Amino acid sequence: MLSRPTSRFPRCTSKVILQLTFARAPTFPHSAYLKRPAVPGQKQASPHRRYFSTGESRGMALFERLIRFEDENGQIHWGDFGNEELGREVEGKSVEILSGSVEDGLKKTDREGKIKKLLSPLPHTPIVMCVGLNYKQHAEEGNLPIPTFPTIFTKPPTALSGPNATISVHPDCQSQLDYEGELTIVIGKTGKNIKAADYVDYVLGYTVGNDVSARNFQIPASVSGGQFGYAKSFDGFAPIGPCIASQKAIKGDPNKVRYWTKVNGEKRQETGTDDMIWSVGQIIEHLSRGTTLLAGTCIMTGTPSGVGVFMEPKGFVKDGDEVEIYVEGIGSLINRIKFE
């Protein structure tokens, strides 16, 4: 059972770098998103995976910063961006191509490709799970009490989008549109009842996320019933990227990274994940309690202080605004807002 926020679980910084291997798995009802079209004359792979595989043995990370990109010929590849954080200028850069896929296993090649367009580091997800009110300073700025357990809500797979994607916003969501920069976990191995001390065994890597929020559907409770999900679940409201960073890339401890959020170049949020109320391990333990946590799940771990709704005057984003979220060791997720 999770302790109250004042008593944290010990953090596991001595674990070896995560490495996942492919395996067959029993059928899980919600894993159909991994199904692929049948190819004539070719045996159809099982759509039910327990692992997202990196293709090497445990303890040896195949990638440092995993990306998906379109090359100059319109072909889509997986690649390893290596030891460099991803910034604005990635187009035209050459990267090592990885063959295969995250579902079936990735392998190193001797080929390189030039990035024409950076894509979402995951082509799909079974679900985006989100933690609300997970930063002390954020709770303080909103004068909100800290709950006994993490506040959880979800976004559907259709909310997923990627770096440099334009977020199209329905007219009914435009009046109080907000940003929330978040460190995001990508689950690499399906699990249940995972202990906080073992979290590293189930994590493929980390990325940057923006929990885009239509506050007019979230606040006040008379409108939302105190529920967060609807206000945050519109198409494109879960951009992630620009890569999936390994444990090595974030220097071994996701609970000790710095990040910030800018709107049109103005810094709005800046924090360290050491301000989180529940650590990465505690979050994974809580979400997997009695519940199967599927490989490919994205977990947005909460946002720090500095969101637009608590600014005076309000700092809501408008048509044409650019939101950039930078996480140390990963790089920048940049998206532009477009009102329909």
- Per-residue H/E/C for 292-334: CECCCCEEECCCCCCCHHHCCCCCCCCCCCEEEEEECCCEEEE
Q: Cα separation of 224 and 210, whole Å? A: 21
According to the model, what pLDDT value does residue 47 have?
42
Residue range of the domain that includes 89: 65-118
Decide: 323 and 179 in contact? Cβ < 8 Å.
Answer: yes
Q: Note whether 191 and 73 are same-domain residues.
A: no
According to the model, what pLDDT value does residue 119 have?
98
Q: Cα separation of 63 and 113, whole Å? A: 16
Q: Note whether 246 and 282 are same-domain residues.
A: yes
Decide: 236 and 168 in contact? Cβ < 8 Å.
Answer: yes
According to the model, what pLDDT value does residue 201 have?
94
Digitized pLDDT (tens) for each residue of the chain, 340 residues in all: 444 444 443 444 333 333 333 333 333 333 333 333 343 343 344 444 566 655 443 334 689 999 999 999 999 999 999 999 999 999 999 999 999 877 777 899 999 999 999 999 999 999 999 999 898 887 777 777 888 899 999 999 999 999 999 999 999 999 999 999 999 999 999 999 999 999 999 999 999 999 999 999 998 888 888 899 999 999 999 999 999 999 999 998 999 999 999 999 999 999 999 999 999 999 999 999 999 999 999 999 999 999 999 999 999 999 999 999 999 999 999 999 999 9
Overall number of domains in the chain: 2
Q: Note whether 323 and 175 are same-domain residues.
A: yes
Q: Note whether 114 and 190 are same-domain residues.
A: no
Q: Note whether 105 and 166 are same-domain residues.
A: no
Q: Cα separation of 182 and 326, whole Å? A: 9
Q: Note whether 292 and 192 are same-domain residues.
A: yes
Asked if residue 121 has a cis previous peptide bond (ω within 30° of 0), the answer is: no
| C-alpha of 120 from chain center | 10
Count CA atoms within 13 Å of residue 293 on its CB side. Answer: 29
Q: Note whether 245 and 111 are same-domain residues.
A: no
Q: Note whether 111 and 252 are same-domain residues.
A: no
In a domain, 25, yes or no: no
Q: Note whether 154 and 94 are same-domain residues.
A: no
Q: What is the pTM of this model?
A: 0.84
